[in-house]
Amino acid sequence: MSCSGTERVVSLLKTLVAFDTVSEHSDYQCAAFVESQLSQSGARTGIISEEVGGVQKCSVYGVFGPMNERGLVVCGHLDTVPFEGQEGWQSPPLGLSRRGDRLHGRGTADMKGFIAQCLAAAPLLKRESLRRPIIFLFTCDEELGGAGSRRLCPRLENLLPCKLPLEGWIGEPTAYRVLSAQKGYITFNVVVRGVGGHSSTPDNGCNAITAAAIVVEAMARLDRAWATGVGSVKDPAFQGSPTSRLNVARICGGSALNMIPESCELAVSIRVVPTDNTGALLQQVRDEMHSALQRAYASVPVTPSLQVSTPVITPGMASSGNASIERLLKKQLGQAAREGAPFATDAGSLAEIGCECAVCGPGQLEQAHQANEFIGIQPLLSGVDLIVNVCQAWSGL
């Protein structure tokens, strides 16, 4: 890349980081900037705007090449996780700060670095030689369990100026490892209801927090079983965590020290191996919770009850291994092994509309969501040529 190209991608990243696109806020200004950059590069562009909870949320696209073919979608997300109250920042989160060979700022790794690369690569594409479209698509609300792409993808056919994409490249931070599968993500709440009363007469009530502790232990047992492959499918692509896993993330209950807690709420998530049965996993959780409470309160006259919310499901993804984008990325990056992402991305929603995806991008997963988040300068710069070369090669196949 030329010196001017180097300055451009860093300048683009600086501008992108300066936009406060924390998921709870509007990302319109950032989307408008991205749309203008793609438009100036010759793309057919559009901003897809919606109101969510009284906040304007936007996704943006830019399409190069012919419109009558199924193309490659190169996808990222505009939103970031919060930084207010996060201890340890040594420089302003919304300012791009260079320290050594690293650029620090919120979203540098996850995933404004990749978006800056795409914007720098867009004017370098040889548009006249594209035989199939290249679609840059940047979504909102990915950090909210992929909610943006879940809302967007079912409508995408009527929003894009071209046909639905055939394959996808998701630029999440993988340190340029090519991941051809990802775990899905399920979230739900469990409310344990007891019987309140004065704490001086505990036998007249039923302590919801005590009952919730039994439920938590039941889910911990189930998670340990899944980790050994009992009740869950093992997939060696997910190194270090080859099965579905369950996590009790938050617990809240009680109101005063002299009162028996009437209710206790648990927030629960499951990371699901894509070949696992989501419905069967959820049923195992329900059965284990109910059985544990029945055993614990078999001889007690006052018993607790359970209420489980409707789960929110972010789909997983497993490619066939035959996708051209996966082969091209592996060839460019010298990788052969099949690997999977233990986290969820927009690839799951794209897969549900028939788009086979690979997940690969600059930045390290360990940096995502951290104070002093950073991207290495060299991976940031080298990725521009990678995007140009892969997109040109894919379009010409």
pLDDT in tens, the chain (397 residues): 555 557 899 999 999 999 999 999 999 999 999 999 999 999 999 999 999 999 999 999 999 999 999 999 999 999 999 999 999 999 999 999 999 999 999 999 999 999 999 999 999 999 999 999 999 999 999 999 899 999 999 999 999 999 999 999 999 999 999 999 999 999 999 999 999 999 999 989 999 999 999 999 999 999 999 999 999 999 999 988 999 999 999 999 999 999 999 999 999 999 999 999 999 999 999 999 999 999 999 998 888 999 999 999 999 999 988 899 999 999 999 998 889 998 899 999 999 999 999 999 999 989 999 999 999 999 999 999 999 999 999 999 8
Radius of gyration for the alpha carbons in the chain, expressed in angstroms and rounded: 24
What is the rounded distance in angstroms from the CA atom of residue 174 to the CA atom of residue 267?
28
Q: Where are the beta strands (DSSP E) in 140-201?
A: 167-170, 181-182, 184-193, 197-198
**Can you give the residue ranges of every domain in the chain?**
3-181+316-395, 184-313
CA atoms within 13 A of residue 170's CA, in its CB half-sphere = 31
Spell out the CATH class of 3-181+316-395: alpha beta
What pLDDT does residue 166 have? Answer: 97
Angle at CA of residue 60, ends 390 and 165, nearest 5° = 45
Spell out the CATH class of 184-313: alpha beta
| CB contact set of 201 (below 8 Å; sequence gap of 6+) | none
Contact of 339 with 177, CB cutoff 8 Å: yes
Q: State the Cα torsion 103-105-110-116 to the nearest 10°.
A: -60
| CB contact set of 311 (below 8 Å; sequence gap of 6+) | 186, 187, 188, 282
- Separation in Å, CA 356 to CA 112, 154, 325: 23, 15, 9
What is the rounded distance in angstroms from the CA atom of residue 262 to the CA atom of residue 272?
32
Q: What are phi and psi of 215, to 5 degrees?
A: -65, -45
Contact of 247 with 269, CB cutoff 8 Å: yes
Looking at the DSSP assignment, which residues form a beta bridge with residue 314?
185
pTM value is: 0.90
Q: 131-164 burial, b for 16+ CB within 10 Å, e for fewer?
A: ebbbbbbbbbbbbbbbbbbbbbbeebeeebebbb
Q: How far is CA 318 from the centre of its chain?
A: 15
What is the rounded distance in angstroms from the CA atom of residue 108 to the CA atom of residue 26?
19
